[in-house]
Structure 1
Amino acid sequence: MKYVNHSNLFLPLLFLLLMVIAGGVAAQTVDGARITSTCQVERPSDSGHGARSEDAPSGSGLSFSIGGFALGGSRPRSPSYESESENTPREESHSHSNVGVGLSINLGELFRHLGKPEIPQQLFEDGPRFESAFSMACIPVRGFVRGGWPLVIDYQADPGTVASVEIHVEGRDPVVIPLRRGSEHNLLKLRLPDQLGNELSPALLLVRAVKDQPGAPVLGRINVFGLGAGPRAVGSVAIDQVDFQPGTMSLGKKETARFSFYSRSDFNRAAAEVLRVINRDGDLQVRLARSIPFDGGVAAGTWVGRDKPLIWDGTDADRQPSLGQHLMQVRAWLSAQAGGDWVAAWSAWTVEVTR
């Protein structure tokens, strides 16, 4: 197993339905909502002149390394955290400014559901939604939120980077939560504002970062190790220590990769997903290669894949070879009857598949 220095790996070479072509293309949805190539969500009711959070950067993208360290990072993941906090977003953090990703994303389906009394069963059954392909320039995830719920994010940003989490719920002002600045490893536990309502609502969440400098927005760098919402997702990140090895596997030699993770909470739904990582003109993107569901979910205090190894054979959903670099993404969530909490976590290691 090897830890990958992402800058050395990808520079020579992700969480929505189409991968970005160089520069990105704005996506217009059925209801008029779109995500622009500059990482902004625009809806018909937004005239571009709404209030902005003073602490959050104006719309831009982020450079994102799922699970690992940012491009150029070289330290292994630490089991301890240098800082931890309980925060409630300030009123001025609520914003009409919108964010998005420089890629195509089907917001029409999402916003048609948002604000309706019925809860989309798909999110309960399929969990937090990272589409089959997305760009690491900005990480969008569709999941449930509720006012007063805890939100947890495990991350590390490059020096000089300003990062934030933004939450979009139909019929409510977008919420902008600035993340703690500095280059230390952070595990932040935040309380979602009451303005999100006391019922479960489907939402679009984005994690983004820009460099803290004047002038036109310039992409920053951030590493996200885990993200989740709801009481079961918080404490630390409820799914962590995602391991994926060895560093290289050969299909010709019939080698396989192994993966494991630790669950700190009970979840009655879970899935492990292999993501193929691609560099497109410096824009790191991921595409789903294989999804591996866990029937019955996972139990609290359990090492999944340690006693009974979990194996990936290097092929995609069509059983075709998936060559190149790959990351492991683990999602876990609760069904409608259990509360709708959700969490996602990523490996700090990549596995390269060769012929």
Structure 2
Amino acid sequence: MNSPAQLSWPGLPGIVGPSTDDRAPAPTEPAEPDANEVKTLLAAGPQLPLTRPADQFEAVGLFKGNWPLVIDFKPAPNSCTYVVVVVGGKATVPAVIDPDGHIGRHLFWGNFSGMSAERLWPARYRVQSETPACPSQHPAANGADAAPSPLEIYGIGAGPRAVGSITVTDLHIGPPQPDLRKSPVTWSFKTEWVFNHATITFLRFERSPRDGSIVSTPVRSFAVPSLEGSDHSGQWDAHDNAGHLSPGIHRLEVRAWDSRDDDKSWASGISNDVVTITHP
């Protein structure tokens, strides 16, 4: 992984590039965090999008100044991919995490500057990709020529426990077309740190015929009883929370987070593997 990039707010030190928003806020920190939203994220963990445009991914999670951010992603060739983090209604300067998409799947690691490291904030982490490429590292330079570009996100996390590689990694689900009369679906993932909360969700993926957006429906979720050790695995009977078979294309999603006093890090992952469930 390369040296961390610096993310900041307009007018504050460490600026990566020009803001694409003419209404960019003044370089002052937002007044106060939303205590109810912080409480919800500590209880329920980071929230990943259920419906999203094919070129964007927005996660909601906790944030502190000087926290590291890590993203496992795959852009398309000849694209410009950048991240923007919104805290208290104020957005970071867009930070380009891949200027041309030629590397394929890889990790981005960034640090924040210009915000208090003491307070915990709810934040929106938006990753977006467009064409053409932006070798200048300034996505605004594409102007009217910019067009959406497909983007895959396999993991995102923030906080000291979220980085190293990415804390929740090596997600697998299979076989691709299981014969449920003989065996269930198997799943596995690895963690680099011990979080005190984790949830596994099996998502059914579809493409909206109206606008091409990606629609993921949680069909089965359960808490992981323990994250002791680095390897975690189990089986799924391909049924939803109501006990009905869930036909269609599915992926594995894992969200892990900490609510202890010393650390509020969070991390999440989505499998590249898919399984297609059909009626026996």
Whether the TM-score (by the shorter chain) exceeds 0.5 is yes
**SS of the residue 1:129 aligns to:** coil
CA distance in 1, matches of 2:168, 2:247: 27
User: Could you tell me how far 1:194 is from its partner in structure 2?
Assistant: 2.5
What count of residue pairs does the alignment treat as equivalent?
A: 251
8 Å contact 1:168–1:175 — kept in the other structure?
no
Greater fraction strand: 2
TM normalised by structure 2 equals 0.81
Check the 8 A contact 2:38/2:121 in 1, yes or no: no
Matched letter for residue 47 of structure 2: R
SS of the residue aligned with 2:178?
A: strand
Any idea what SS the aligned residue of 2:2 has?
strand
Show the counterpart of 2:27.
none
5 Å-filtered alignment, 1:145-160, equals 145-160=63-78
1:135 and 2:52 aligned: yes
Instruction: Name the residue aligned to 1:228.
Output: 157
Q: Which runs of 5+ in 1 are unaligned?
A: 1-82, 99-112
Aligned Cα RMSD in Å?
Answer: 2.4
SS in 2 for 1:194: coil
- Return 5+ residue gaps in structure 2 as ranges: 8-13, 23-30, 133-141
CA pair 325-173 structure 1, distance change in 2 beyond 3 A: closer
Report if the CA contact (8 A) 1:94-1:173 is conserved: no
Contact 1:145 1:196 in 2 (8 A): no
> What is the alpha-carbon distance in structure 2 between the residues aligned to residue 170 and residue 344 of structure 1?
22
The CA deviation at 1:119 is 6.2
**Superposition deviation, residue 84 in structure 1:** 2.7
Whether the aligned pair in 2 keeps the contact of 1:315 and 1:321 (CA below 8 Å) is yes
SS in structure 1 at match of 2:115: helix
Q: Is the 8 A contact 1:169 1:196 kept in 2?
A: no
Measured after TM superposition, the shift of residue 92 of structure 1 is 4.9
Alignment partner, residue 286 of structure 1: 216
Q: TM-score, normalised by structure 1?
A: 0.65
Compared CA separation, residues 119 and 198, structure 1 to 2 (3 A): farther
Report the equivalent of 2:193: 265
Instruction: Give the superposition deviation at 1:118.
Output: 6.3
Provide, for residues 247-269 of structure 1, a one-character-per-residue CA deviation record: whole Å limited to 9, x for no partner: 01245x26410000111111000
Instruction: Provide runs of 4+ in structure 1 moved above 3 Å.
Output: 92-96, 116-119, 171-175, 213-217
**Cα 1:94–1:304 shift into 2, 3 Å:** farther
Are the counterparts in 2 of residues 247 and 351 from structure 1 also a CA contact under 8 Å? yes
- Aligned residue number for residue 102 of structure 2: 183
Which amino acid in 1 is paired with 2:199?
A
Which amino acid in the other structure matches residue 180 of structure 1? D
CA pair 311-114 structure 1, distance change in 2 beyond 3 A = farther
State the distance in 2 between where 1:176 and 1:215 align.
17
Q: Any conservation in 1 of the 2:57–2:153 contact (CA below 8 Å)? A: no
